[in-house]
Structure 1
Amino acid sequence: MKRLLLLAAVATATACGGGSDKKDPNCNPADPAACADGLVCEVVQGVGTRCASPVVITGVVYDLSLGLEAGPIEGARVVPLDVNGAPVGSAATTDATGAYSVQVPAERDANLAPVSGHVTLRADADGFATFPSGIRSAVPVDLSAATEVNAATTQWVVASSLTDVGLDPTSGAGTGRLHGNAAQATAGALVVAERTDGTVRTGVADASGDYVIFNVPAGDWTVQGYTQGVNYQPAPVAGLTDLEDRQVDLVVKNRAAATVTGSIQPTGQNQPAALDTTVVLVVRATYDVELDRGESPPGLVARLTNATGTRFSVPGVPDGEYTVLAAFGTDGYIRDVSGIGGTAPVEVLVENGVMTSAPGAFKITGAVSFADPGISPSTGTVGETLVTDASTPTFAWQAYPSATGGFDLVVFDSLGTPVWAPARLAAATLSVPYAGAALEAGRTYQVRVTAYDNAGMAVSRSEDLLGVFTYVPPAAP
């Protein structure tokens, strides 16, 4: 019922004159007055630009521990991002029912219907872990799935299970906030607050440059913005107190950004037939060693294929300390975890607009592959996340050529905390039922499998974004 009411509200909230504006068939996207009220200037395939009804993403932000209907979160901040982490619209704040609506640009077909566009969602709220974080990754929302809603007005609405965002409650996370504007953040910015003891909190600047960082503990902080091509002055924050909401605007400094270069070396077994992977820079302060991931500023990514080769170049890198990650995704590769030369997490330092420590070459190798579906029984998917109704699901993976020493298996909860790690499994064992602490209904988990050789050296593991599942027990009869 909540979704029906939300869609009805969306259908009647915006005053617009239909699907196009005949007075201006070739609008200027940079001109906010190019289209009639309620219409937006969008790119149309093979035509140019036209005025069209806007595309909005609607959904509900809720407490995962209570469920969608029982746990709406008021005051959560939702920002739509493109696949490279750059905002594609302004942030929205949820109402008392947890509902939000954000407008996003979308390429159109000849009938002005949205086509082939994807965005992800970031959500933050007081007392809750940021989404995405830990093992929880944001699955891209397909804008071509938008439905045209007609009433007194017209909008293209995207609403699905992927646009409802469940947040994990946290305890003792801090009650302060930092907010402000990141000048020149038209392409977005990752904003990182770091306390002197190493505690880190993050936020993102939306298309207007505004950012908010939630759950900030009391103390002294330094706030730093990161975005491609822009260097910000670090902003000190002295004596933040509990429940305080401090304004901290970021100022650009007159310094060019650097180009970070290096190379990867595909090696080992079980490699995909062709090289097709990415290299990303994550801010070192956000890097989680256990999960081997961190938060990346918008645009700091390079794609490598057989055609481009194994050398990478990331331009526009602002001053800072970064961890370089390759093969972060579902491309059949992982960072080589064997512990031999060229396999440690790679770090790079950019100072005064210059790359002062080069990452050099580092190795990637073929990943351990899950069986199909890998987690059983499965009752469907939410995006790339499997759903199971079994309290003790079975995890299954494929044999790995050099896994003569067996396999380690770890199950993480959605905050990245290990909840089950059985003793090492024999090389012939390719499946095992879950036998850890009781899974919590509605919660998301990840299983990770690592292969070992006879010498006890890790040779590979499963991919960072696979093995994710949500436990949804069957409804009571």
Structure 2
Amino acid sequence: MHSLRVLTIATLSLATAALVGCGDDEPPKNENKSCSVQAQSGCETGLVCEEVEGAEPACFAPVAFKGVVVNALDDKPVQGARIVARDANDAAVSPVAISGADGSYTLNVPAKRNAEGKPLAAKLTLRADASGYQTFPVAPRVALPIDVDTATGSPPVVQNPSTDIALVPLPNASGLGSIAGTVVADTGVELAPAGALVVAGGSTGIVDFKGNFVVYNVPANASVDVKAYAAGLQITPKTVAVEAGKETGNVELRITSAATAKVTGSVQVVNGNGFDTTSVVLALKDTFITEAARGEVPKGLRVGGVTGAYEFSGVPDGDYVLLAAFENDGLVRDPDISIGGTAILDVTIANGMSVTKEGFKVTGSLETVSPGKDAIEEVTGTPTFVWADDSSEDMYEVRVFDAFGVLVWEDLAVPSVSGSDNVTVEYKGDALTPGMIYQFRATSMKDGVPISQTEDLRGVFIAR
């Protein structure tokens, strides 16, 4: 089960099971009671208030995701992991489930119903955090959408390989503590914090739909800044002390106002190989790994469908890194830093003041062939990296990173190819750790200048 679980975290689609309501004919409702979806009140014990298409909310047996959380390296259960469901905008939409001693969890998720009481089509993703483990998902790993309407049984449950989660253990968890608290709004401020990203000491946590959060794996320090970010929210940070092996609790962060700053700019596609639409994100600088060029993106700080000008609205005060073409769209940030508009851009928002950035160039990517062309792959023995040839290059560079963004091997003098559509390079570094997630990235070079790269979220594989 180990390899199956790990692979399915980022690769397998959900089974298209037949839809069944939570009863033989129709899910149970409190016909004579009104209920509140927001307050989750008005339903009998064991039922939840859900929206109903074309009708008033009603009470139903909840849809649940069931799965297990395991250590990616040894398949042993992870106890005490916090699992929360998020919607397409990364807003938390569920309470938190805590994995048990056997790693199992049950998470009730919202499910709008049709007139017959069956769940309507909707997609949610999972986030999981645990002490001593890397958060899931963190790039280049991605969380696949889970289809709510595939729930079966009475009560309805989604349980398949996609609801299992494999967490990568930290290489050294000593000297780390945790921070727990809530995000609340000042009097007169009606803004919901669910899905806000909390950052402390470079580690992050997610605010659930009740406003609670836990940030694990925070380096012990007498003075740690705790900040929270989400589009539209201005949240006042706090400074707390963190002790190794202990939890700093009851930390209250307050939403003081709406965030109104804008970040504007433009993207220019150069030699896009037929691709002309991309996305732009604002990654938190506190989480940014420079060498791997990736970081965590708060809720709402992504703009898609960009062909030229872009605009972020409601950006909170903070320090960010602007990344274009970070997702798999056939484009990458132009790596040629010898020309203008190709450097990674820093963005600082202070006192709600808007910012306009200079133009940003992206270019067509090198096509990843294997491993990890379309999804994470399992690799046994010595991996071989294959990507499509760039006809204008005179050499290549290839690098391999582990799940933490640490460079584990590189070859900076891969010769150009002749008479082949693909470039093939064998890994020649130290033995890879079984169960660890890795990513290879290739860069084409011309006269000592990088001209293109493989995409940021492709080339991901699991060592066996």
Question: 1:421 Cα deviation (Å)?
Answer: 1.4
Cα displacement string for residues 111-130 of structure 1 (whole angstroms, at most 9, x for unaligned residues): 54444422222222222222
Give the 5 Å matches for 1:240-389: 240-247=242-249, 248-254=251-257, 256-272=259-275, 275-305=276-306, 309-339=307-337, 340-355=339-354, 357-371=355-369, 374-375=370-371, 384-388=375-379
Q: Is the 8 A contact 2:65 2:163 kept in 1?
A: no
In the alignment, what sits opposite 2:153? 149
| Residue matched to 1:189 | 196
CA spacing shift, 1:317–1:432, aligned 2, 3 Å: same
CA distance in 1, matches of 2:444, 2:32: 61
Contact 1:271–1:333 (CA under 8 A) maintained in structure 2: no
Deviation of the 1:409 alpha carbon? 1.3
CA positional deviation for 1:155:
2.4
Task: Answer whether contact 2:400 2:441 (CA < 8 A) is retained.
Answer: yes
Residues 241 and 187 of structure 1: CA distance in aligned 2, closer, same or farther (over 3 Å): closer
Distance 1:285 1:324, change over 3 A: same
Is the 1:141–1:163 contact (alpha carbons within 8 Å) kept by the matching residues of 2? no
Query: Does 1:414 find its partner at 2:375?
Result: no
* Counterpart check, 1:217 vs 2:208: no
The answer to whether residue 222 in structure 2 is matched with residue 229 in structure 1 is: no
Would the alpha carbon gap of residues 165 and 353 (structure 1) be closer, same or farther in structure 2, given more than 3 Å must change?
Answer: same
**Distance across 1 between alignment mates of 2:385 and 2:100:** 39
Q: Which amino acid aligns with 2:357?
A: P
Give 1:229 deviation, angstroms: 1.2
Change (3 A) 1:405 1:111: farther
What does residue range 91-102 of structure 1 map to in structure 2 within 5 Å? 91-102=96-107
- Matches of 2:244 and 2:436, distance apart in 1: 30
The aligned counterpart of 2:13 is none
Rounded to whole Å, the distance in 2 between the matches of 1:276 and 1:52 is 42
Counterparts of residues 61-80 of structure 1 (less than 5 Å): 61-67=69-75, 71-80=76-85
SS of the aligned residue for 1:396 comes to strand
By how many angstroms is 1:161 displaced?
4.3
Structure 1 runs not aligned, ≥5 long: 3-14, 195-199, 473-477
Shift of 1:406: 1.7
Q: Name stretches of at least 5 consecutive residues in structure 2 with no aligned partner.
A: 3-21, 186-191
Cα deviations by residue, 1:53-112 (Å, 9 ceiling, x for unpaired)? 322112112222211xxx111112122222332211122211111111211123445654
Does the CA-based 8 Å contact 1:124-1:214 persist in structure 2?
yes
Once the two structures are TM-superposed, the CA of residue 367 in structure 1 deviates from its matched residue by 0.8
Say whether 1:464 aligns with 2:453. Answer: no
Give the partner amino acid of 2:454. Answer: S
Query: Normalised by the size of structure 1, how large is the TM-score?
Result: 0.82
Distance 1:48 1:315, change over 3 A: farther
Secondary structure, aligned partner of 2:296? coil
Counterpart secondary structure, 2:298: coil
Is residue 38 of structure 2 the alignment partner of residue 30 of structure 1? yes
- For 1:383-402, what aligned pairs fall within 5 Å after superposition? 384-388=375-379, 390-402=380-392
Question: Share of identical aligned residues, percent?
Answer: 36
TM normalised by structure 2 equals 0.84
Match of 2:427 in 1: 434
State whether residues 129 and 170 of structure 1, in contact with CA within 8 Å, keep that contact through their aligned partners in structure 2: no
1:24-55 per-position Cα deviation (integer Å, ceiling 9, x unaligned): 69965335235444333444567775544322
State the secondary structure of the residue aligned to 2:273: coil
- Secondary structure in 2 matching 1:106: coil
Q: 1:119 to 1:255 in 2, by over 3 A?
A: closer
Residues 47, 62 of structure 2: 8 Å contact kept: yes
* Alignment RMSD (CA, Å): 2.9
Once residues 26 and 265 of structure 1 are traced to their aligned partners in structure 2, the CA distance between those partners, rounded to angstroms, is 53
Match of 2:394 among 378, 399, 405: 405
Listed as ranges, the matches of 1:198-209 within 5 Å are 200-209=202-211
Give the direction of change, closer, same or farther, for the CA distance of 1:96–1:426 in structure 2 (3 Å limit): same
Instruction: Choose which of 36, 43, 63 in structure 2 pairs with 1:55.
Output: 63
Q: For 2:413, what is the secondary structure of its paired residue? A: coil
TM-superposed CA distance for 1:142, in Å, is 3.1
State the 1:271 CA deviation. Answer: 4.1
Partner secondary structure for residue 313 of structure 1 = strand
Rounded to whole Å, the distance in 2 between the matches of 1:130 and 1:28 is 33
* Contact 1:135/1:413 (8 A) holds in 2: no
Q: How far apart are the structure 2 equivalents of 1:110 and 1:460? A: 52
Aligned length, in residue pairs:
432
Alignment partner, residue 7 of structure 1: none
CA contact (8 A) 2:283 2:298 kept: yes
In 2, distance between residues paired with 1:114 and 1:202? 32
| Aligned 8 A contact 2:30 2:43 in 1 | no
Q: Give, as a single letter, the amino acid of the residue that structure 1 aligns with 2:124.
A: V
Change (3 A) 1:438 1:113: farther
CA distance in 1, matches of 2:213, 2:261: 25
Deviates more, 1:103-112 or 1:337-346: 103-112
3-state SS of the aligned residue for 2:286? Answer: helix
- CA contact under 8 A between 2:272 and 2:331: conserved in structure 1? no
Check conservation: 1:65, 1:169, Cα contact below 8 A: no
Residues 1:448 and 1:107: Cα distance change in structure 2 (over 3 Å)? farther
* 1:39 equivalent in structure 2: 47
SS in 2 for 1:131: coil
Once the two structures are TM-superposed, the CA of residue 354 in structure 1 deviates from its matched residue by 1.2
Amino acid at match of 1:333: L
* 3-state SS, counterpart of residue 129 of structure 1: coil
Q: Which whole-Å CA distance do the structure 2 matches of 1:174 and 1:83 have between them?
A: 35
Compute the displacement of 1:165 (Å).
Answer: 2.6
Measure how far apart 1:162 and its partner are.
4.5
